[in-house]
């Protein structure tokens, strides 16, 4: 089935991956500041109710309260969106590492799971932490790679997954008045 997304430069093997990354690695060794990649996202209160509409690659997504915090389940859950971002990053990282290791992965299915305790976010019990916990990603690969290679693949991909590593750091939230 063809992909609905435009296809840019295709990297299909370890040599092509190394060729694409070698000049970048050299540049970043010489100029570490050049390695700082900017990321951004935008959201508005464009829709009614306790929602926030996020501009995404695939179009706007309206996020709202999870059912355990008063939502009715008709809006996207930001916790699920977090896991989706994690899967996107873990999947690309896993595929990149598998490519660099010259592992033949015929197909893959990735799943993410986590939990959160609504008592924390609702302020019912201040001793209950606010946030997603017990985050787990499982990648089931159709491959002939041996167990040692799969273990190495998992460790290296976990180490280099930007979103996964970012979950270790708290975010900063600034609230300010909009300019008139």
Can you name the residues that pair with 72 across neighbouring β-strands? none
Does residue 128 sit within a domain?
yes
Beta-bridge partners for 62: 53
By CB atoms closer than 10 A (0-12, 13-18, 19+), residue 86 is buried
Residue 119 lies in a domain: yes
Q: Which two tokens stand for residue 157?
A: 């991909």
State how many domains the chain has.
1
pLDDT tens, residue order, the chain (180 aa): 445 556 667 888 888 899 999 999 999 999 999 999 998 999 999 999 999 999 999 999 999 999 999 999 999 999 999 999 999 999 999 999 999 999 999 999 999 999 999 999 999 999 999 999 999 999 999 999 999 999 999 999 999 999 999 998 888 988 998 998
Q: Domain residues for 95?
A: 77-166
> What is the pLDDT, as a whole number, of residue 15?
87
Q: Is residue 122 part of a domain?
A: yes
- CATH number of domain containing 137: 3.30.300.20
């Amino acid at each position: 089935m063809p992909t609905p997304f435009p296809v840019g430069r295709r990297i299909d093997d370890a040599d092509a991956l190394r060729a694409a990354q070698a000049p970048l690695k050299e540049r970043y060794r010489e100029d570490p500041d050049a390695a700082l990649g900017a990321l951004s996202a935008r959201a508005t209160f464009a829709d009614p109710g306790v929602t926030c509409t996020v501009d995404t690659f695939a179009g706007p997504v309206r996020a709202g309260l999870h059912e355990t915090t008063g939502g009715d389940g008709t809006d996207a859950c930001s916790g699920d969106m977090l896991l989706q971002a994690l899967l996107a990053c873990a999947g690309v990282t896993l595929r990149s590492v598998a490519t660099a290791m010259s592992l033949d992965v015929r197909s893959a299915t990735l799943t993410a799971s986590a939990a959160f305790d609504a008592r924390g976010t609702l302020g019912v019990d201040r001793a209950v932490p606010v946030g997603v916990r017990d985050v787990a990603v499982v990648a089931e690969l159709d491959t002939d790679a041996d167990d040692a290679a799969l273990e190495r693949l998992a460790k290296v991909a976990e180490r280099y997954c930007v979103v996964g590593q970012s979950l270790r750091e708290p975010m900063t939230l600034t609230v300010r008045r909009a300019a008139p």
